[in-house]
């Protein structure tokens, strides 16, 4: 990993990043660690988490890998109890875990639909609730950063349930921000544009993917690092006056 300079001091804070076994989740954990936060990295793929945990700890950070299926709602309470027992209760939650099933709406099965909505919308809601319940009870300030998508506002062909889930994340962000406004729980969202990750890298090598890139104003994919500033703003002290806000970071793809 290259050395990351953040300009933000998160020493004394602990961040939980879900979906941290690949893609944006890995970058979010690295950036928050580089800013001084202890990081809890959670995902289903324990072997991938172990690699990231070793990398961060080997560079002088503090990472704790915990296997977690975010759709297993019955275990969310015990998951946070386990973190409290290890003195690793986060005060920053990055709701990043997500997935997609790419097919026309008429080909969707009920199981396809449930899988997308359960992972992308239902799980973040209940993770945020349990996280906030702890901090409201303790009287602590805390931050929630939900990862939405440009699909929250833009129709992406073949991705209707995905876009439905991400537009729901935006409204969930606003609703929770309003409910917890007096509790010092800031709730915000980031809407990334198209960024190459392991779940979509095959597409950009196809003629269709190349044509899509050529249609954007800058003729390029956005980079994972483009999200660093928005993440640190919303997780760090400079974002203390922001709640219920959605920041779009798409490299101008959908101007």
Active site residues: 162
Structure tokens at 254: 């959908």
Are 40 and 67 within 8 A, CB to CB? no
> Contact 14/66 with Cβ under 8 angstroms?
no
> Residue 7: left (phi > 0), alpha (psi -120 to 50), or beta?
left
Angle, helices 23-34 vs 46-58, to 10°: value is 20
**In the chain, how long is the greatest CA-to-CA distance?**
54
Rg value, the chain, Cα: 18
Q: What is the CB-side half-sphere exposure of residue 104 using CA atoms within 13 A?
A: 2
């Amino acid at each position: 990993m290259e050395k990351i300079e953040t300009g933000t001091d998160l020493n004394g804070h602990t961040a939980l990043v879900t979906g941290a076994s690949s893609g944006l989740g890995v970058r979010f954990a690295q950036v928050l660690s580089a800013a001084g936060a202890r990081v809890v990295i959670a995902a289903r793929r324990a072997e991938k988490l172990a690699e990231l945990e070793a990398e961060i700890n080997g560079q002088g950070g503090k990472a704790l890998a915990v296997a977690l299926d975010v759709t297993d709602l019955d275990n969310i309470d015990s998951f946070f109890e386990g973190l409290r027992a290890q003195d690793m209760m986060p005060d920053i939650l990055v709701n990043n875990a997500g997935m997609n099933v790419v097919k026309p709406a008429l080909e969707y099965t009920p199981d396809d639909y449930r899988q997308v909505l359960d992972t992308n919308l239902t799980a973040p809601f209940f993770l945020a609730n349990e996280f906030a319940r702890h901090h409201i009870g303790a009287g602590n300030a805390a931050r929630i950063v939900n990862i939405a998508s440009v699909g929250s506002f833009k129709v992406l062909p073949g991705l209707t349930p995905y876009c439905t889930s991400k537009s729901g994340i935006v409204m969930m962000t606003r609703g929770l921000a309003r409910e917890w406004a007096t509790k010092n729980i800031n709730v915000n969202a980031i809407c990334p544009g198209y960024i190459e990750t392991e779940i979509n890298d095959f597409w950009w090598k196809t003629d269709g993917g190349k044509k899509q890139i050529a249609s954007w104003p800058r003729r390029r994919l956005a980079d994972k690092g483009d999200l660093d500033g928005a993440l640190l703003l919303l997780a760090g002290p400079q974002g203390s006056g922001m709640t219920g806000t959605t920041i779009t970071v798409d490299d101008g793809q959908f101007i």
